Amino acid sequence: MNPNDKISAVENKMPKSELKASISLASIYGLRMLGMFLILPIFAIYATHYKGGENSILVGAALGAYGLTQALFQLPFGMASDKFGRKNMIYIGLVMLIIGSIIAALATDITMVIVGRAVQGAGAVSAAVTALLADLTREENRTKAMAMIGATIGVTFAISLVLGPAIAHLAGIAGIFWLTAILASLAILVIKFVVPNPIISSFHSDASAAPAKLKDVLKNTQLLRLNYGIFALHAAQMAMFIVVPFAIQKTSNLDVNHHWQVYLPILLGSFMLMIPAIIVGEKRGLLKPVFIGAVALMLVAQLCFASLIGSFWGIVFSLFAYFVAFNILEASLPSLISKLAPAAAKGTAMGVYNTSQSLGVAVGGLVGGYLAHHYSYSVVFMFCAALMSVWLLLTFSMKTPPSVKTKMYHLGETSDVQANALTKKISALPYVYEAVAIAKEGMLIVKIKNTEIWDEQEILDTITNK
């Protein structure tokens, strides 16, 4: 424990302006992702109302199209926001989301839904929103702000599994697309009237992707393991939602509008198991064994799906195992990226990670739809099990993530010579795992060993005497 933690917590308390910016930008993520997630638990069944919607390949393409265009435009949108302005790029992305939602809402055949979903995904504002958040928060509060966004996405996904069937029952699948357009419009208003304008927009290596760092990130085998993991996790998620809605309907007396009665207790139970697992992993330095266990459980869930898909209670058991594993992995992966990525390339590493996730959505939708159409539900899950088997093998050779916490400090005007000297001084401190001072950003990033007693005042004094 740091003897100065109590003092630091008071000094680093997020001011109202930063709290407002963090909450409002987290709401942008929430509004946008709610519209995206709502269709997952019901689309496969409702798609049969469209011309061509009985074709599982086209259903998978409709689900996956969003991920494909998201992957293509995510990094370019973020980089363009450095040149053309954060809010301008976010407006463009949200307008594209609105247009895509309207196309899908008016569609009468599955092909137009695919077009609408592709246009929705092309409005890839995630990187631009993250960059804006970095502009509006101080270095020492940025991790808290990012955590708010991560929590918002997780809660939004859980809510969507319950709300999606209810909204579709009242307004149909077109109603969900109309709601997505409305939510995106509200997001524009939040950006315009609630989110502050940054005094200065600049590049932040901890929040934005740098083209110069891409090669190093793509060559990092530890990060590649994690990128494959998020790819496989979301590929399996999309494939699952092509099959499971039909399986629940066929094996129970529940129509699709009441599937929330299956998802809600499973989600609540899985969260109760996920939270202690994350705490044990982070606080006791056991993140790798917890992580490996979650990947193994995900493999078990896929094999259970494959063998028990014809039984309602088999599906319930498989879903429970799936969501326990999914929630642990979804929460652990960003933390692992942060711990294993070079301090000066965290933003680039997260950009590649997010792109891998979107590619997983695309591949899972397309391959899952193809296998469901030409073979059987069980084959879909054998494909997912194969993805998880590869991931499990990769996790065994994964480097044990360091037990660290990241601290960031504002340096003010700093020369390259001063930054290099400061990096060496801070790195030499016994409780520091890694440190890097970035002159052009006026920022010092320090990874502190959780196992060591550390002295923040010593770091601050070193910065002052740089």
In the chain, the N- to C-terminal Cα span, in Å, equals 26
Do 118 and 248 lie in a common domain? no
pLDDT recorded at residue 339:
87
pLDDT recorded at residue 157:
86
Cα–Cα distances (Å) from 144 to 19, 185, 194, 224, 276, in that order, read 10, 27, 20, 26, 20
Domain count, the chain: 3
pLDDT classification of 2: cutoffs 50, 70, 90? very low
pLDDT at 5 over 70: no
Give the containing element (helix H, strand E) for 445.
Answer: strand 443-449
pLDDT recorded at residue 230:
95
Six-digit token string for 359 = 């590619």
Q: At what angle do helices 312-340 and 221-251 cross, to 10 degrees?
A: 160
Do 395 and 411 lie in a common domain? no
SS3 of residue 432 by DSSP: strand
Task: Read off the pLDDT of each residue in 43-48 and give the average, rounded to a whole number.
Answer: 93
pLDDT in tens, 278-301: 888 877 778 899 999 999 999 999
**What CATH number is given to the structural domain containing 277?**
1.20.1250.20
* CA–CA distance, 111 with 117 (Å, rounded to integer): 10
Residue 7 falls within a domain, yes or no?
no
Do 73 and 122 lie in a common domain? yes
pLDDT recorded at residue 9:
35
- Which residue, 131, 150, 144, is CA-closest to 206? 131
- Which residue, 350, 353, 351, 362, is CA-closest to 77? 351
Do 293 and 390 lie in a common domain? yes
Amino acid identity for residue 455 in this structure? D
Residue 5 falls within a domain, yes or no?
no
Last residue of a domain, one of 202, 222, 256: 202
pLDDT recorded at residue 7:
33
Do 324 and 392 lie in a common domain? yes
Do 233 and 105 lie in a common domain? no
Amino acid identity for residue 87 in this structure? K
pLDDT classification of 10: cutoffs 50, 70, 90? very low
pLDDT recorded at residue 466:
62
Do 331 and 215 lie in a common domain? yes
Task: Read off the pLDDT of each residue in 420-432 and give the average, rounded to a whole number.
Answer: 93
Lowest-pLDDT range, 34-38, 61-65, 241-245, 350-354? 34-38
pLDDT recorded at residue 394:
96
pLDDT in tens, 130-176: 888 888 887 777 777 887 887 888 888 888 988 898 888 889 999 99
pLDDT recorded at residue 356:
95
In this structure, are residues 36 and 180 in contact, taking their beta carbons and an 8 Å threshold? yes
Residue 2 falls within a domain, yes or no?
no
Residue 76 falls within a domain, yes or no?
yes
Between CA 121 and CA 322, with CA 225 as vertex, the angle to 5 degrees is 70
Last residue of a domain, one of 136, 170, 202: 202
- Which residue carries 């592709």 as its tokens? 118
Task: Read off the pLDDT of each residue in 209-235 and give the average, rounded to a whole number.
Answer: 93
The residues that bridge with 437 in the sheet, in sequence order, are 444
Do 81 and 161 lie in a common domain? yes
Do 374 and 354 lie in a common domain? yes
pLDDT recorded at residue 12:
55
Residue 6 falls within a domain, yes or no?
no
Do 157 and 264 lie in a common domain? no
pLDDT at 75 over 90: no
pLDDT in tens, 312-330: 999 999 999 999 999 999 8
Residue 58 falls within a domain, yes or no?
yes
pLDDT recorded at residue 205:
82
pLDDT recorded at residue 56:
94
pLDDT in tens, 384-414: 999 999 999 999 999 888 888 888 888 888 8
Do 408 and 391 lie in a common domain? no
**What CATH number is given to the structural domain containing 415?**
3.30.70.100
Six-digit token string for 438 = 């970035």
pLDDT in tens, 163-216: 898 888 889 999 999 999 999 999 999 999 998 888 877 777 877 788 888 899
pLDDT at 11 over 60: no
- Which residue, 250, 212, 209, 246, is CA-closest to 352? 209
Last residue of a domain, one of 202, 233, 256: 202
pLDDT at 6 over 50: no
Residues of the domain holding 413: 404-464
